[in-house]
Amino acid sequence: MKRVISIALVTALAISLCACGGKTENSPAASNTEKINLTVAYADPEDSVFGKGANAFAEKLEELSGGTITCTMYPNGTLGSIPEVAAMIQQGTCDVSPIVTSSLMDFCPELGVFDLPFLFADYEDANDTINGDVGDYLSSRMAEQNMHVASWMTMGFRETTSNKPINSLTDFNGLRIRTQSNEIHQAIFNALGASATIINFSELYTAMEQGTVDAQENPYVNINSNAYYEVQDYLVETNHVFQLAALLVSDSTYNKLTDEQKGWVDQAAAYAADVEWEATEADNEAAKQACIEAGMTFVEMDHDELLAATESVYDAYEDQYGELLSMME
């Protein structure tokens, strides 16, 4: 049923976008006074960090444009799955979406560099890096895919939970841990001695409850919102991957705007990124405390020790990401 609804919505949006002007391939550029409505889609709830960033974008864009550019929000995957929305951005049937870099590797494989372990020391380090030369380069690569990176967002660090004690590196030995379908994430935990297992996110809670896996990894906000504290005893601050995201605008949309309108979009996106980064750090800290208050035992790992144990992951991907890593130095 959701798929049928999504198709119907996309069809209706395509009709409305053409009616708004500036959306079809051969139509002229919009004027600064023309009313434009942008579709903004994301997979998470409205109160998520992406929801907060998307709403900040919409509010600032409406303010900057004097109300001539508005946004219609489609949270909770209303328009489709993350891959479907990414394809819609490329095709020009969706205007704006914040999407994690790990879900964009089909369009730009080089974005996989951000899945490497312990790449950033903290939020400031990650923000400075992604808004530097490497971010500019990756934005240019995304532009080749009809995707304008208006700004860079984040979900923060990914952490580990377990129903078995993890106090040292040796405690990872033999640990059955669920990871995303991401070969680098799997390589990280296999290098630590664990056994990485792929399970659909929708099935993860039950898998932990039934003992199919011992552990999993996610940002604190996901751990708390999905009540993993009900089936996991230990909250382990591994900080093994820092999750970045791109606030994408379809080039089919962006290139139909006037220079002034493009400036408004980019200013709104920069503002939204500031709001979203701050919200992500605050919300992850609040989620961490909520999990502890719910009864989880908190363990802070030695990140230098974990980095040393995962050097083999860097060796395996040196040829693929070496130049990008040099840009980050």
pLDDT tens per residue across span 163-202: 999 999 999 999 999 999 899 999 999 999 999 999 998 8
Per-residue pLDDT at 152: 98
CA distances from 118 to 165, 188, 201, 323 (A): 22, 10, 23, 17
Where in the chain is CATH 3.40.190.170?
2-155+244-284, 159-241+285-328
Which tokens in the block code for residue 156?
């923060």
Q: Which amino acid is at 77?
A: G
Per-residue pLDDT at 301: 94
* Position 34 pLDDT exceeds 50: yes
Percent of the chain at pLDDT > 90 equals 88
Domain spanning 159-241+285-328: CATH 3.40.50.1260: no
Where are the strands (E) in 281-321, listed by range? 297-300
- Domain spanning 2-155+244-284: which CATH class is it, in words? alpha beta
Whether 154 and 243 have beta carbons less than 8 Å apart is answered as yes
The pTM is what? 0.88
pLDDT tens per residue across span 68-117: 999 999 999 999 999 999 999 999 999 999 999 999 999 999 999 999 99
Report the candidate in 104, 65, 42 with the shortest Cα–Cα distance to residue 262: 65
Per-residue pLDDT at 95: 98
pLDDT tens per residue across span 37-78: 999 999 999 999 999 999 999 999 999 999 999 999 999 999
Per-residue pLDDT at 30: 60
Per-residue pLDDT at 33: 72
Q: How confident is the model at residue 18 (pLDDT cuts 50, 70, 90)?
A: very low
Q: Which amino acid is at 203?
A: E
Neighbours of 83 (CB within 10 A): 12
Strand 297-300 to strand 69-74: parallel, antiparallel, or no bridges (unpaired)?
A: unpaired
pLDDT tens per residue across span 229-271: 999 999 999 999 999 999 999 999 999 999 999 999 999 999 9
